[in-house]
C-alpha cells in the first residue's frame, strides 16, 4: 500500500488531525459546559454528604476510571482537598452491589457506541439512589452523546470533561455558605471570592471557565500542529522500525501519566476496529511490582527494576511525564539507553531535565505549565502516533 493512497496519514497530516480535535471539542463543550457546571454542583453536595466517586469502564475506558480516581484523591494543586474516589473497573458490577451507598456518585465510561454492561451498572446505581454520570450513555443524572464516533478523539474529549469536573467540584466545595474554607481558588477561577454568590451566576461563570479551558487546549494543539508534524512522524517511523524488528513498546508514567501509559498500551493491544494490534506493555499497570520495589528499595526504582526484567534491545522505552523531572522516569530512560532501546519521552513544561540532558532519542513537549492541559494534549499526541503506526504497518504489510 502506498502512502499516497491514504493522504490523511501522510507525514505532515498530524496538523489537520490535531486541528480536527479542536473543532470537535469546541462544538461538544459549547453544548455541555452549562450541564457540566450543574452536575458539579450536585457532585459537591454528594461529597459534602459523605459520598464517594465510584468510577468504572472496560478496556481502554478503564484507564479513564483510573485517571479520574487519582485526580480526585490526589489533587494536582497543593492544598486542595482529597476527595474519596475509587476505580472499580476490575469487577464493577459485583463491586457496586457490595459497596454502593445512596449518597455515592457512579461514573461510567464507554466507547462512542456505548457499553451495555456499563449502562446496566449505572441503572443499578441510579435505582439505589446514587448520582449517575454516563460518559457517554442514554440515561444518567448527567449523560452526554459522544462528541464523535472516532474512539481516540472521543476519549480525549471525555478526558477534558472529567478534568473540568474535578476542577469545578472544588469551586462549589469552596463556597463559604457550604461550610468549607479549603483555600483560595483564585488560581483556577479568578472570579471566585469569599463572599456568598448567587448560584445562577456561579453556574454561568463556571460554564464560561470550562469553555476557556477548552480554548487553552485548542491553542496548544494549534501550536503543535504548526511546529511538530515532522517530529511526530519521525517518532512514529522510529517506533515502527523497532516493531518491525520484533520489538515492543514499554510505557511508564506516574499518577495521571500512569493512566496515560496504560491507555496507550491498551490502545496498542486492544485497538479500535480495523486497527492491527501492536505489542506493548505498561510498567504502570503492575501494582504488585511497583509496591514491592517501592517498599524494598525505593520509589525511584519502580520502573528501572521492571525495565531490567522486561527490556530487549529491539524495544521502545516511552516515558510520560508532565514535569520532565520525575526521578523514576529519568532512571528508567537512562537504563533503556544503556541497553540500546529506542527512547521516547512525552513531556510538559519546557521538557525539564529529560530534555535538557537529552535522555530520549525523541522528545515531544507540550509547552504548558498546568498539568490537566498538558495531559489532555499529550493524549492527542499519542493517539496520533498510534494512528501513524497503523498506517506504517499497512505500508509494510
Does the fold of domain 228-396 match that of domain 3-219? yes
Predicted local distance difference test score (pLDDT) of residue 80: 80
Q: Which residue has the cell 490526589?
A: 74
Contact 137, 146 (CB under 8 A): no
Q: How close are the terminal C-alpha atoms of the chain, in Å? A: 8
Strand pairing of 142-143 and 342-347? unpaired
- Look at residue 191 in the predicted model and tell me its pLDDT: 39
Q: What is the DSSP letter of 192?
A: -
* CATH class given for the domain over 228-396: alpha beta
Question: How wide is the angle at C-alpha 9 spanned by C-alphas 5 and 10, nearest 5°?
Answer: 80
Determine contact, residues 145/119, Cβ cutoff 8 Å: no
What is residue 105's DSSP assignment? E
Residue 397: Cβ-neighbour burial (10 angstroms; 0-12, 13-18, 19+): exposed
The domains of the chain are located at 3-219, 228-396
Distance between CA atoms of residues 209 and 191, nearest Å: 10
The pLDDT value recorded for residue 2 is 33
**CA 323 – CA 345 distance, rounded (Å):** 11
Strand ranges in the chain using DSSP code E only, listed in sequence order: 53-56, 85-87, 105-109, 131-135, 142-143, 249-253, 280-282, 316-321, 342-347, 362-365
Predicted pLDDT at 10 = 53
DSSP 3-state of 157: helix
Residue spans of the chain under pLDDT 50: 1-9, 176-197, 395, 397
Residue 198 has a pLDDT of: 52
List the 249-253 sheet strands across, edge first: 280-282, 249-253, 316-321, 342-347, 362-365
Q: What is the DSSP letter of 117?
A: H
Contact in structure between 82 and 73 (CB atoms under 8 Å): yes
DSSP string, 282-347: EGGG-HHHHHHHHHHT-GGGTTHHHHHHH--TT-EEEEEESSS--HHHHHHHHHHHHTT-EEEEEE
> What is the residue whose three cell numbers read 498500551?
265
Q: What pLDDT is stored for residue 12 in this prediction?
A: 54
Contact between residue 307 and residue 290 where contact means Cβ atoms under 8 Å apart: no
- CA-to-CA distance for 166 and 222, rounded, in angstroms? 25
Cα–Cα distance for residue pair 36/298, rounded to 1 Å: 40
> Which of the following CATH numbers is that of domain 3-219: 3.40.605.10, 3.20.20.100, 3.40.50.10490, 3.40.50.1440?
3.40.50.10490
Which residues, 6+ apart, have CB-to-CB distance to 72 below 8 Å? Answer: 53, 82, 83, 84, 85, 166, 169
**Helical packing angle, 151-173 and 14-48, nearest 10°:** 40
Kindly report the pTM of this predicted structure: 0.91
Res 393: pLDDT: 76
> Rounded to an integer, what distance in angstroms lies between the CA atom of residue 256 and that of residue 375?
8
Count of positions (residues) in the chain:
397
With 0-12 CB in 10 A as exposed, 13-18 as middle and 19+ as buried, what is 356?
Answer: exposed
Amino acid at each position: 500500500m502506498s502512502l499516497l493512497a491514504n493522504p490523511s496519514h501522510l507525514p505532515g497530516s498530524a496538523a489537520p488531525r490535531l486541528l480536527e480535535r479542536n473543532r470537535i471539542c469546541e462544538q461538544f463543550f459549547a453544548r455541555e459546559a452549562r450541564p457540566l457546571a450543574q452536575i458539579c454542583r450536585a457532585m459537591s453536595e454528594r461529597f459534602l454528604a459523605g459520598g464517594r466517586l465510584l468510577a468504572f469502564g472496560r478496556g481502554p475506558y478503564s484507564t479513564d476510571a483510573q485517571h479520574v480516581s487519582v485526580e480526585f484523591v490526589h489533587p494536582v494543586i497543593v492544598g486542595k482537598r482529597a476527595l474519596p474516589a475509587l476505580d472499580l473497573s476490575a469487577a464493577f458490577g459485583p463491586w457496586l452491589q457490595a459497596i454502593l451507598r445512596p449518597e455515592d456518585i457512579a461514573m461510567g465510561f464507554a466507547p462512542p457506541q456505548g457499553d451495555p454492561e456499563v449502562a446496566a451498572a449505572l441503572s443499578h446505581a441510579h435505582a439505589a439512589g446514587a448520582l449517575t454520570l454516563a460518559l457517554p450513555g442514554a440515561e444518567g443524572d448527567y449523560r452526554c452523546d459522544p462528541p464523535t464516533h472516532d474512539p481516540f478523539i472521543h476519549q480525549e474529549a471525555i478526558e477534558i470533561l472529567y478534568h473540568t469536573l474535578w476542577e469545578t467540584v472544588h469551586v462549589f466545595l469552596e463556597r463559604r455558605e457550604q461550610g468549607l474554607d479549603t483555600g483560595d481558588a483564585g488560581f483556577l477561577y479568578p472570579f471566585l471570592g469569599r463572599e456568598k454568590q448567587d448560584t445562577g451566576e456561579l453556574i454561568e461563570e463556571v460554564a464560561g471557565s470550562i469553555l476557556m479551558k477548552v480554548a487553552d487546549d485548542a491553542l496548544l494543539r494549534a501550536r503543535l500542529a504548526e511546529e511538530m508534524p515532522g517530529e511526530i512522524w519521525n517518532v512514529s517511523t522510529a517506533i515502527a522500525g523497532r516493531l518491525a524488528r520484533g520489538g515492543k513498546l514499554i510505557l511508564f508514567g506516574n499518577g495521571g501519566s500512569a493512566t496515560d501509559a496504560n491507555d496507550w498500551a491498551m490502545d496498542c493491544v486492544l485497538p479500535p476496529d480495523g486497527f492491527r494490534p501492536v505489542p506493548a506493555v505498561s510498567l504502570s499497570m503492575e501494582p504488585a511490582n511497583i509496591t514491592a520495589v517501592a517498599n524494598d528499595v525505593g520509589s525511584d526504582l519502580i520502573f528501572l527494576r521492571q525495565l531490567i526484567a522486561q527490556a530487549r534491545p529491539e524495544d521502545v522505552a516511552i516515558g510520560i511525564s508532565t514535569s520532565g523531572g520525575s526521578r523514576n522516569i529519568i532512571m528508567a530512560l537512562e537504563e533503556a539507553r544503556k541497553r540500546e532501546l529506542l527512547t521516547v519521552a512525552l513531556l510538559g513544561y519546557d521538557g525539564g531535565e529529560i530534555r535538557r540532558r537529552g535522555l530520549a532519542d525523541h522528545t515531544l513537549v507540550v509547552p504548558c505549565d498546568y498539568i490537566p492541559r498538558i495531559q489532555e494534549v499529550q493524549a492527542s499526541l499519542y493517539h496520533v502516533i498510534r494512528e501513524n503506526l497503523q498506517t506504517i504497518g499497512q505500508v509494510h504489510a
